[in-house]
Chain A
Amino acid sequence: MKNLGRILMVEDDAKDVELTLTALEEYNLANEVVVTRDGQEALDYLYRRAQYSNRPQENPAVILLDLKLPKVDGLEVLQQIKADERLKMVPVIVLTSSHQEKDVLRSYKLGVNAYVVKPVDFHEFVNAVKELGAFWAVINEPPPGSVRKA
């Protein structure tokens, strides 16, 4: 069930994971989320390596990517995704605390689909995550080869 998620979330902060999932619960999207805790695990998931070697072949409908990650950082994950013929169609949303212009610029240069700064205000945060989830996982038509809505 977990492996069938349409939303791949790459987030090292456990509290952010919980709060994001709580926000997505309101749209009943929480159980569609696959959580990976660092860049390496995210790539393992996408390339079906290590513990994910047995998962079905479909791509997630959207990737929520934090930039500050252990092992392989977010920008590097983004670069690999966008350089891969099979993965580059998957929408990637950078969801980060970083306002930094150079992060924004590099993300867009690498082909990110959206860049969202996590708001401090919880309401705003919840709204942002809900809207993101709703738009990319529900409203948006994902590219062929993505996990379909169950």
Chain B
Amino acid sequence: MIQQSRSRGKAASIVLPVATAAAAIAIFVVDTVTGVDVAVAGLYVVVVLMAARFLRARGVMLVAAVCVGLTALSYILSRSPSGNPAEIANPLICVVMILLTALLVVQAQRATAALQEQASLLDQTHDAIFVRNMNDVITYWNRGAKELYGWKAEEAIGKNKQELLKSVFPIPRDEARGELLRTGRWEGELKSTRADGTEVFVATRWAVQRDSRAQPIEILETNNDITDRKRREDEIKRLNEELAKRAEGLDRELAKRAAELEATNKELESFAYSVSHDLRAPLRHTVGYAELLQRQASSSLDDKSRRYMEMILESSKRMGALIDDLLGFSRIGRAEANESAVDLEPLVREVVAELGQDTKDREIVWKIGPLPVCYGDSSMLKVVFVNLLSNAVKFTRIRTQAEIEIGCTEGRQDQAELFVRDNGAGFDMRYVDKLFGVFQRLHLAEEFEGTGIGLATVQRIIHRHGGEIRAEGAVDRGATLYFSLPRARVQERVGGNTQ
């Protein structure tokens, strides 16, 4: 097929110049021999036109020059001796006609070449570009369009674009067309069908071409294959939706867990409370009847029996203390925090004064402050200091001179770090983790009494205030408890002081 057309082209390229040359010779012979004159020389125009079919600008101009030369030669050869001056006018007109024709032909050739160049440029791009008239009939179809859709130019041209591509529009087609006519352009994403029946997503841009009277005559359409992008977008969308669904599920799960946790916590709190509460009654009875028995029968009891009685009472009282501490501990979790600015220094002095009862026989050197104004629940903060200071008093019992220091380190801007330091029994840092657990004790009850709830309560209060607590110590070298509390802001401090 290709071979055939090529050989046909070759034949044409020989035939045309030969025919042109033959025509020129024929015209020259007729012109020279017959003396029919002007009319014959005018036929050189045909020669020029024929030459334009297979020659470029320069060749055409050369042929035109030859024709002019031939015209002049004919004139000289056939000139009558009479030498009528009017006779020269005819060949001159012929020469002008030949030259004009050559010029016009060359110009037309240039314009065509430019158009062809543009067309081949349009074929270079990978974008699918086609033109359709206002009836949607395709009039131009570039190589990109062929590659994208699978129809050759000759297959596509002359077909109705919509019937060919079966495009699915994101908006009604009339609206797209309306916008195109109104603004001169339209952009959108279409789903079209290829020659092989597969679907392709394209980003399309339409531009309308108008004639000199502003009437729309054709539409230039550029299509880009966005199938991959679309697929990725769809995938991303699907993943996002899945993610959102999963996140929603997680949120729901989290909310459920939080609710469950809250419910469990409440249950635990009320359990702890009612345990402590209901444990009190039988304990009260045990202590009550034991004391009644002691009073009633102490005279008739021997020493051993009296000691047993004492043990019953002592154990019961210890259990009472445990229950009371447990109650206090559980109350910290349930109680509404009533927060305000709390000046810690007077609070600490108040606690020290209250401890005076237990310390009157002791030699204790107190070093207090300066202490900051913090923000918190004053009654809870008092519980913190009551616990920490009574601990310090308790564990320094082994010293002839106890030293207890309550101070404040530099800490952070928004949080004050306070400490309570003593020179008491201290503790082994290996067991520091056990210090803050409920019912965890590092000493024997015979050495230092206690329920093991005090520091757990303190930690709970500090945590509720958003602070941290830690302990440092060494056996027989004393202990220091550090804890942080939020500082009161200036205006709260003023409010706190005037209270």
B122 within 8 A of A: no
B266-281: CB near A (< 8 Å → 1, else 0) gives: 0000000100011011
Residues from chain B with Cβ under 8 Å of A101 in the complex: 335
CB distance from B334 to the nearest CB of A (A): 9
User: Which B residues between 292 and 310 are near A, CB-CB below 8 angstroms?
Assistant: 292
Residues from chain B with Cβ under 8 Å of A122 in the complex: 284, 287-288, 290-291
B347 within 8 A of A: no
4 smallest CB-CB distances across A and B, nearest first, come from A120-B320, A122-B287, A15-B285, A122-B288
Residues from chain B with Cβ under 8 Å of A118 in the complex: 280-281, 284
CA distance A97 to B277 in the complex (A): 6
CA distance A15 to B277 in the complex (A): 16
B323 within 8 A of A: yes
CA distance A13 to B280 in the complex (A): 13
User: Which B residues between 310 and 336 are near A, CB-CB below 8 angstroms?
Assistant: 317, 320, 323-324, 327, 331, 335
Query: Is A97's CB under 8 angstroms from B291's CB?
Result: no
9 of the cross-chain contacts (CB-CB < 8 Å) are A15-B289, A19-B288, A19-B289, A97-B278, A118-B281, A118-B284, A120-B287, A121-B287, A122-B287
B57 within 8 A of A: no
Residues from chain B with Cβ under 8 Å of A123 in the complex: 291
CB distance from A70 to the nearest CB of B (A): 15
Chain A interface category by residue count:
10 to 19
Residues from chain B with Cβ under 8 Å of A119 in the complex: 284
Q: A22-B292, A99-B327 are in contact. Are A120 and B273 (CB under 8 A)?
A: no
CA distance A100 to B272 in the complex (A): 13
A104-129: CB near B (< 8 Å → 1, else 0) gives: 00000000000000111111011000
Residues from chain A with Cβ under 8 Å of B317 in the complex: 121
CB distance from A8 to the nearest CB of B (A): 21
B283 within 8 A of A: yes
Residue of B nearest to A19 (CB): B288
B283 in complex: contacting residue of A19, A99, A120, A126, CB < 8 Å: A120
Query: Is B281's CB under 8 angstroms from A97's CB?
Result: yes
Q: What is the number of contacts between chain A and chain B, taking CB atoms within 8 Å? A: 49
CA distance A22 to B324 in the complex (A): 25
A79 within 8 A of B: no
Interface centre among B273, B291, B323, B331 (most CB of A within 10 A): B291
Residues from chain A with Cβ under 8 Å of B277 in the complex: 97-100
Residue of A nearest to B282 (CB): A15
A16 within 8 A of B: yes
Main secondary structure of the interface of B (DSSP, over half): helix
Question: Given A16-B281, A121-B287, 6 other A-B contacts at CB below 8 A?
Answer: A15-B288, A19-B285, A22-B292, A97-B277, A120-B324, A121-B317
Residues from chain B with Cβ under 8 Å of A100 in the complex: 273, 277
Interface centre among A16, A19, A121 (most CB of B within 10 A): A121
CB distance from A107 to the nearest CB of B (A): 16
Q: A120-B287, A122-B288 are in contact. Are A13 and B327 (CB under 8 A)?
A: no
CB distance from B294 to the nearest CB of A (A): 10
Interface centre among A98, A99, A119 (most CB of B within 10 A): A99
Q: A120-B320, A123-B291 are in contact. Are A19 and B273 (CB under 8 A)?
A: no
CA distance A125 to B283 in the complex (A): 12
User: Which B residues between 244 and 288 are near A, CB-CB below 8 angstroms?
Assistant: 273, 277-278, 280-281, 283-285, 287-288
Residues from chain A with Cβ under 8 Å of B284 in the complex: 16, 19, 118-120, 122, 125
Residue of B nearest to A123 (CB): B291
CB distance from A109 to the nearest CB of B (A): 17
CA distance A126 to B295 in the complex (A): 14
CB distance from A120 to the nearest CB of B (A): 4
CA distance A150 to B284 in the complex (A): 32
User: Which A residues between 2 and 21 are near B, CB-CB below 8 angstroms?
Assistant: 13, 15-16, 19
A58-100: CB near B (< 8 Å → 1, else 0) gives: 0000000000000000000000000000000000000001111
Residues from chain B with Cβ under 8 Å of A126 in the complex: 288
Query: Is B291's CB under 8 angstroms from A13's CB?
Result: no
Residues from chain A with Cβ under 8 Å of B278 in the complex: 97
Query: Is A120's CB under 8 angstroms from B285's CB?
Result: no
Q: A19-B288, A120-B287 are in contact. Are A13 and B320 (CB under 8 A)?
A: no
Residues from chain B with Cβ under 8 Å of A125 in the complex: 284, 288
Residues from chain B with Cβ under 8 Å of A121 in the complex: 287, 317, 320
A17-42: CB near B (< 8 Å → 1, else 0) gives: 00100100000000000000000000
B320-361: CB near A (< 8 Å → 1, else 0) gives: 100110010001000100000000000000000000000000
